[in-house]
Amino acid sequence: MKHFLFLISAVLVFSGCGRQMAKRLVDDEAIQVSDSEIRLGESFRDSLSIRYLGCGGLYIRKGDQAFLVDPFFSNQGPLLCLPFKKLRHERELIKGFFHEEFHSARDWDGIIKAVLVGHSHYDHIYDVPYIYKKHLHRDSAIIVGSRDAELLLETAGIQPGWKGGPVRDVSELARSLWKEDRFITTENRRIRMLPILGSHAPHAMGKKFLPVREPRRWGRRGYPHNAMKFWEGDNFTFLVDFLDEEGVVDFRMFIQSGAASTYPVGYPSEEVLAEKEVDLAFFCVASFDKIKRYPFEQIERMKPRGIVLVHWENFFRPQKKLMEKPRTVPFTPVCRFVKELKRMNGGLRMPIPWVMPNVGLGVEVYY
């Protein structure tokens, strides 16, 4: 709580910066305000669809296989009121997403095979139990996250895997040295996921303003509805592969959508990358300036064929307002990020195509 009091003066100083930066980035076409596309090469044999949900959240679909990453629709604000507010699910917004994607309030066909949870701050996990119970096909979808996520979800009545439930605790798995034992594969064996132990950059002024470990006085009396009762826990990045019918990797993604981290933390091993290049990388923009050379060192080493930038927007504003008028995340110089990315990209022999979609928009990827 003391960190939020320390934050007040900074919020007052920076309150107008997000509006000005977003306008400049929209004018420069760095932020996409309509659906966009990425073309990975000059000829294409297939495609996949992405929808940016906000807060680093993603819906990624290839044919009849899809997964969610940190789905969060229920933005709360303003920032300074957050410790005192009761969180609530934006039910109509969530229902609207499923109607747009599935023409129904529920994924009856079980298209969504997995929900990946990068860490357990409220803006990454709060909506997960509601979405799982109300909108997913429970026999098809698993939830992949940390031991901390497992504890939180169990208070919402969603059981861990060892009790026959859908939640897969990968905290120990991500620490394993044996790469062949670390991939988790969906039941139909068409998507596999490699959790990689990561970390979380400070939010501002060298401070983290949300709990890092489980609050002592919580007592697990039920699923929390206050942002300060969600603790960070273990952080993960993910290497996710769409597999063909023979089990061969068809398309590979690196997903670091939840938090910035210092290389090589959260980075795949060279041994894994030698098996298949990364086709598309997702990077969190928030707090990039708190980490030296993030994500530019990762990009230079990984050389993904395409990049999607996420978690750049002011997620303390309701999603509907962000869809109408983009705002950049407080305390992060997003314009500087874009300038540095363009400078780095200009020095490459083959510049990497990239997009930074506004909340709610789609990106079609041709490869």
Per-residue pLDDT reduced to its tens digit, 228-260:
889 889 999 999 999 999 999 999 999 999 999
Domain ranges for the chain, please list them. 2-366
Q: What is the pLDDT of residue 231?
A: 86
Angle between helices 334-346 and 17-27 (to 10 degrees): 30
Average pLDDT of span 40-67: 97
- Burial call 279-294: b when 16+ CB within 10 Å, e when fewer: bbbbbbbbbbbbbeeb
Higher pLDDT, 9 or 247: 247
Q: What is the pLDDT of residue 148?
A: 92
Distance CA 68, CA 231 (A): 21
Let me know: does 67 contact 113? Beta carbons within 8 Å. yes
Average pLDDT of span 263-289: 95
Q: What is the pLDDT of residue 127?
A: 98
pLDDT digits (tens, 9 = 90+) for 108-165: 999 999 999 999 999 999 999 999 999 999 999 999 999 999 999 999 999 999 999 9
Let me know: does 280 contact 40? Beta carbons within 8 Å. yes
Query: Is the model's pLDDT at 1 over the cut of 80?
Result: no
Query: Which of 154, 147, 151 lies closest to 132, judged by CA?
Result: 154
Let me know: does 133 contact 104? Beta carbons within 8 Å. no
pLDDT digits (tens, 9 = 90+) for 304-358: 999 999 999 999 899 999 999 999 998 899 999 999 999 999 998 899 999 999 9
- Count CA within 13 A, CB hemisphere, residue 293: 11
Q: Reply yes or no on domain 2-366 having CATH 3.60.15.10.
A: yes
Q: What is the pLDDT of residue 322?
A: 94
Q: What is the pLDDT of residue 83?
A: 79
Average pLDDT of span 263-290: 95
Q: The dihedral of CA 323, 327, 329, 334: what is its sign? A: positive
Q: What is the pLDDT of residue 104?
A: 97
Distance CA 12, CA 16 (A): 8
213 — pLDDT class (breaks 50, 70, 90)? low
Q: What is the pLDDT of residue 200?
A: 84
Q: What is the pLDDT of residue 82?
A: 78
Q: What is the pLDDT of residue 113?
A: 98
Higher pLDDT, 243 or 4: 243
pLDDT digits (tens, 9 = 90+) for 167-196: 999 999 888 755 556 899 999 999 999 999
Q: What is the pLDDT of residue 106?
A: 98
Query: Is the model's pLDDT at 217 over the cut of 80?
Result: no
User: What mean pLDDT value characterizes the chain?
Assistant: 90
Query: Is the model's pLDDT at 88 over the cut of 90?
Result: yes
What's the maximum distance between 2 C-alpha atoms anywhere in the chain?
A: 57
